[in-house]
Amino acid sequence: MVRAVEKARPSVVNLRGQKTVREEGAAAREVNGMGTGVVIDPRGYIITNNHVVEGVRRIEVTLHDGKALVAHVVSTDPKTDLALIKVDADEPFEVITIGTSSDLMIAEPVVAMGNAYGYEHTVTRGIISSLHRTVQVSDAQQYEDLIQTDASINPGNSGGPLLNVDGEMIGINVAVRAGAQGIGFAIPVDNAMAVAARLMSIERIDRNWHGLVGKPVEKDGKHRLVVDKISEQSPAALGELKPGDVITSMGDVAVERPLDVERALLGRKAGEEVPVVVERDGKPLKLSLVLAAKGRNALPTEERVWDALGMKLAAINTRDLREQLTKYRGGLKVVAVKDDGPARKQGIRPGDILVGMHVWETISIDNVEYILNRPEINEIVPVKFYIVRDGETLIGRLPIVGATVTK
């Protein structure tokens, strides 16, 4: 137990704040709130209970070494009573080791850590008393599928980790029975981390989009993330990921669950290429995906390009650049052509790489947008285009729907 606590302690933080409480028939009053949080990403992302931070004007986070920082709320989920907050610091934070709640057993020994009654880094121990408990604490709040333990979980412990003997987090504590003796509850870690992934994605999707849906599975005692669905023409599809692939790493993050994908992509920008390693048919395969703008295909001007040129374009990955574009700095892959559009009529096919139009390179979608917006566009249609197919450069002239030929 000592080793388990020492392993987890650097990742457990104490939370304090002040909120205004308004009760029917009484004047509003200021109260000091307290709780606990757990670091789940080295950049300072912390998971805690929603009721700990709800309504708090200023959240003060105290680290294990006594350093105090101010946090802001990233996102909350009142239904599950979970919240994601973030603190900023010059050094990376130590991250809790995340276990699993899928193989818990009744009578298994556990440790609860937290800020009980304001006493920082309080540790209590006990066993798992029961599993899959439903607890109704108010008309507005019902917890489902909770872990029940006889380890003391008191006010201030909320949001702290429930640990197994290996120091792995197996649950997030919730103090739902004030004054209860020998009865405490925790949200199973698998449920909590699934919610954490959603909460983290709310911040990420404003910046980038990948287009894949992962399904967590457990095999041979290990967590694995299997690609379940892929949106058509999404970065994941264009990066050649397929349903059934097991994602083992993304960027520099080892992937075991959806939260890891969010951690790998958080802070990255649309247009950035991310290496991905998957396991397909039992063999490792290195791929990459180029992130797109929020909720869109890889092209912000997709509809306009489709209407004007009759083709859909996507950023190419490193492999295409290395294998096919030895003479050019880059290009855009043709992923679809409209049946009656200009591209098809000029012989352009899916798989071709557009490397230039007129006198301009087409390395990014911004280049195509620039060309379509040129004031002299009517003077240069049909536009000379350059594509690469099987390593060979082909040249043709492409009409632009909506442009008027003036020469």
39: nearest Cα among 100, 94, 88:
94
Half-sphere exposure of 208 toward its Cβ, with a 13 Å CA cutoff? Answer: 22
Determine the average pLDDT of the residues in 348-367: 89
Rounded-to-integer distance, Cα 203 and Cα 20, Å = 27
Structural domain harbouring 185: 109-191
- For residue 182, the SS3 value is coil
Confidence of residue 150 (pLDDT cuts 50, 70, 90): very high
- Report the CATH number that the domain containing residue 180 is assigned in CATH: 2.40.10.10
Q: How far is CA 295 from CA 41, 139, 233, 362, in A?
A: 25, 36, 12, 23
Q: What is the pLDDT of residues 258-284, one digit of tens each?
A: 999 999 988 888 888 899 999 999 999
Do 307 and 385 fall into the same domain? Answer: yes
Rounded-to-integer distance, Cα 342 and Cα 234, Å = 23
Do 185 and 221 fall into the same domain? Answer: no
Bridge partners (DSSP) listed for residue 398: 383
Do 182 and 212 fall into the same domain? Answer: no
Tell which of 163, 191, 219 closes a domain. 191
Q: How many residues does the chain have?
A: 407
Residue 316 belongs to a domain: yes
Do 152 and 216 fall into the same domain? Answer: no
Rounded-to-integer distance, Cα 349 and Cα 361, Å = 19
Half-sphere exposure of 290 toward its Cβ, with a 13 Å CA cutoff? Answer: 19
Total structural domains within the chain: 4
Tell which of 257, 290, 323 closes a domain. 290
Cβ-based neighbour number of residue 303 at 10 Å: 12
Which residues are known catalytic residues? Answer: 51, 81, 158
Q: What is the pLDDT of residues 37-63, one digit of tens each?
A: 999 999 999 999 998 998 888 899 999
- Sign of the C-alpha dihedral computed for residues 169, 175, 181 and 184 taken in this order: negative
What pLDDT is stored for residue 21 in this prediction?
62
Do 332 and 378 fall into the same domain? Answer: yes
Rounded-to-integer distance, Cα 269 and Cα 253, Å = 17
Residue 324 belongs to a domain: yes
Confidence of residue 199 (pLDDT cuts 50, 70, 90): confident
b/e burial code for range 154-189 (CB count within 10 A of at least 16 → b)? bbbbbbbbbbbeebbbbbbbbbbeeeeeebbbbbbb
Q: What is the pLDDT of residues 312-352, one digit of tens each?
A: 998 887 677 777 777 888 889 999 999 989 999 999 999 99
Residue 133 belongs to a domain: yes
Determine the average pLDDT of the residues in 125-131: 94
Residue 101 belongs to a domain: no
Task: Tell me: cis bond preceding 42? Omega within 30 of 0 counts.
Answer: no
Residue 196 belongs to a domain: no
Alpha helices in 26-154 (DSSP H): 50-53
Determine the average pLDDT of the residues in 210-227: 86
Bridge partners (DSSP) listed for residue 313: 334
What pLDDT is stored for residue 299 in this prediction?
43
Do 168 and 216 fall into the same domain? Answer: no
Do 244 and 183 fall into the same domain? Answer: no
Do 307 and 384 fall into the same domain? Answer: yes
Do 390 and 306 fall into the same domain? Answer: yes
Which secondary structure element, helix H or strand E, spans residue 288, and what is its range?
Answer: strand 283-290
338: nearest Cα among 311, 304, 313, 301:
311
Do 40 and 119 fall into the same domain? Answer: no
Rounded-to-integer distance, Cα 136 and Cα 176, Å = 9
- Report the CATH number that the domain containing residue 328 is assigned in CATH: 2.30.42.10
Rounded-to-integer distance, Cα 306 and Cα 53, Å = 47
Residue 93 belongs to a domain: no
8 A C-beta contact, residue 200 and residue 190:
no
Tell which of 252, 267, 290 closes a domain. 290
Residue 112: φ, ψ to 5°:
-110, 135
